[in-house]
Structure formats: C-alpha cells, structure tokens
Amino acid sequence: MFLSRAKLIRLVAFDVDGVMTDGGLFLSDSGEEFKRFNSLDGHGIKMLRASGVEVAIITGRTSRCVERRAQNLGIAHVYQGVERKLEAMVDLLGKLQLSRDAAAYMGDDVVDLCVMRHVGLAITVPESPQLVQAHSHYMTKRSGGYGAVREVCELIMSAQGTLDAQLAPYLK
C-alpha cells in the first residue's frame, strides 16, 4: 500500500520538532531557540527536490533556525507558527494545483492528525503516540532527527524510480 501511494506523491510536507529534529528544544537564558538537524536528512531533501518532488515545512512553532535550514535546503514553502496545519496544507495544494492524493505529510503528534488524515500518504516516526501511528500509512524505522526524513525521501524516490539517478553521481 505504501509504494502505490508513494508513486503518486508530488509534494512532501514535514513537521519540524520530532520529525526533522529529535523533538528536544534548547532555549538560552535570552530565549533564543536552538535545534539540531540531521545532515543525512538534509541531503535526502535535496535529492527529493532534484527528483521533481516539491518539499514544504508546516510547523506550529516559529524559529529563525527553521527559516535558515529551509533556505539552506532550498525549501521555498515554509509555514511557521501555524495553529491550523490543515489550512496551510490546503492553501499549499491550491498554490501548487495538486490533489490531496499527490501529497504526503510527515508528523509526530496529535496536532498533525488533521493533515495526515487529509493527504494521500501519512507518515510518522516510532516515537509518535499510538493514535498517530494508527492513522499513518508508514512509520519510519529511524527516529525523528536521526535519519527518518532521509528514509522517507529515499523510499519515495525508490517508489518513483528516481533514486538510482539521484545516487548515480556519487558512484562514479
């Protein structure tokens, strides 16, 4: 079921905390927020974009480091401080003129369920609550912030037959 859904995907949107990071929040005394991102995940996103799949971030928190990470990875669609994530996804699908079956969303908590239940491919991480796992089409083997995003990127490219082309330059 996962592979047949993954073949249709033209957009993948990611939550940040617990998906692109391990969910931990580092706050300085001055209130500055720090997050740890995984470089393997970042390269997976770059390859997925190069294969023709749009990438977005939809997150409830607002953080300058997320903005910087998105810029570094070439992610043009960034929705931060979003209380109604489904509205952001519907807006994005409209802008990109895509059906909901062509979209995937990767989240890790109950606040993500509204989007996960709306898209063609719902993905979560092993640390997510049981309810979120029950509404997912796929649960990664890797944890959030530790390669889960890369795993998903490679699985989608594999399902679409684009992974080998993305890896070929590194095998010369």
pLDDT of residue 161: 98
pLDDT of residue 25: 83
112 known member of a binding site? no
Q: How far is CA 15 from the centre of its chain?
A: 6
Domain coverage including residue 65 = 2-171
pLDDT along the chain (172 residues), means of 10: 93 98 88 89 98 98 94 97 96 98 98 98 98 98 98 98 97 90
15 known member of a binding site? yes
pLDDT of residue 2: 85
17 known member of a binding site? yes
First to last CA, the chain: 34
Taking each helix axis from N to C terminus, what angle separates 148-160 and 39-50, rounded to the nearest 10 degrees? 20
pTM, two decimals, is 0.95
How many domains does one find in the chain? 1
CATH assignment of the domain containing 29: 3.40.50.1000
pLDDT of residue 155: 97
pLDDT of residue 92: 98
- Rounded CA-CA distance 66/11 in Å is 19
- Rounded CA-CA distance 50/17 in Å is 24
The closest alpha carbon to 16, from 49, 55, 58, 53, belongs to 58
- Rounded CA-CA distance 103/14 in Å is 11
